[in-house]
Structure formats: structure tokens, C-alpha cells
């Protein structure tokens, strides 16, 4: 008897869950958004990392720094090369405005003076 009652409860609960919603039509998934045209980005030319910047003070400093690298201890050379790449990219970004260009000129002059003082680069 007890099994019969549990079975009947389970069946009515199952039917009750399946019967929810009454006479409503099943909901349809919303239609997908219309396809959009992919924006095409024109290819940009990225200058070669060794391409001169066009700022003589910075190009001179970077050339001097590059000439100094082989004179450094072998274990310091990779870090120095990485620094040159980082500086070149930073200067390239900075010189895109007149104000940035002026700041880069001042910075490169100071760095060139410091490079001349470095005994490893003489």
C-alpha cells in the first residue's frame, strides 16, 4: 500500500511538472542577429625595429648604445639589446606629437651624455 501511494505521488508530481504551462504555445528562441559585415582594418606597416626614428639625437644615442653592446660582458648583452628595442619603441611612440618629439630630443641628449661617461662604451 505504501508503495502504491509513493508511486501515485511520484506520478502525479511528474505529471504536474510536465503539465505546467497549460495551453500556452512553447516559446521559440529569438532569431539570431543579422550577420554584420566584418570591419576590415587596413594593413599597417610596422617599421623595422632598426629603422632610424628620424630624430638625430635619438638615432645617435641608439646607434652609440648598439655599438657599446659588444663591449659589455656577454651575460649583460641580451638585456642591453632588449633595452635598445624597448627604448626605440618608446621613442617611436613618443615622437608622434610635437611636444613628445621635443621631450625625446632632450632625453636623448642626456642619455648620449651619460653613454659617453660609461667606461664600458668608450
Residue 53 has a pLDDT of 86
Give me the pLDDT at residue 52, please: 84
Residue 43 is assigned to a structural domain of this protein: no
Of the two residues 51 and 78, the one the predictor is more confident about is: 78
| Residue 44 falls inside a structural domain | no
Asked if residue 111 has pLDDT above 50, the reply is: yes
Predicted local confidence at residue 4, as pLDDT: 34
Q: Does a structural domain hold residue 23? A: no
Q: Is residue 31 part of a domain?
A: no
In a domain, 40, yes or no: no
Closest CA relative to residue 103, chosen from 68, 58, 72: 58
Position 62 scores a pLDDT of 94
Burial class (CB in 10 A: 0-12, 13-18, 19+), 66: middle
Percent pLDDT > 70 in the chain is 60
**Block residue for cell numbers 660609461:** 118
**Is residue 103 situated within a structural domain?**
yes
Comparing C-alpha atoms, which of 101, 122, 89 is closest to residue 57?
Answer: 101
Instruction: Look at residue 46 and tell me if it is in a domain.
Output: no
Q: What is the pLDDT of residues 1-16, one digit of tens each?
A: 334 333 333 344 343 4
Quick check: is 72 in a domain?
A: yes
Please state the domain count of the chain: 1
pLDDT at 120: 80
Range of the domain at 117: 56-121
Amino acid at each position: 500500500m505504501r508503495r502504491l501511494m509513493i508511486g501515485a505521488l511520484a506520478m502525479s508530481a511528474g505529471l504536474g511538472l510536465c503539465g505546467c504551462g497549460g495551453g500556452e504555445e512553447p516559446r521559440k528562441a529569438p532569431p539570431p542577429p543579422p550577420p554584420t559585415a566584418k570591419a576590415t582594418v587596413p594593413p599597417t606597416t610596422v617599421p623595422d625595429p632598426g629603422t632610424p626614428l628620424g630624430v638625430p639625437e635619438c638615432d645617435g644615442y641608439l646607434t652609440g648604445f648598439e655599438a657599446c653592446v659588444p663591449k659589455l660582458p656577454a651575460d649583460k648583452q641580451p638585456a642591453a639589446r632588449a633595452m635598445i628595442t624597448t627604448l626605440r619603441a618608446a621613442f617611436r611612440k613618443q615622437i608622434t606629437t610635437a611636444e613628445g618629439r621635443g621631450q625625446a630630443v632632450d632625453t636623448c641628449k642626456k642619455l648620449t651624455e651619460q653613454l659617453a661617461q660609461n667606461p664600458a662604451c668608450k
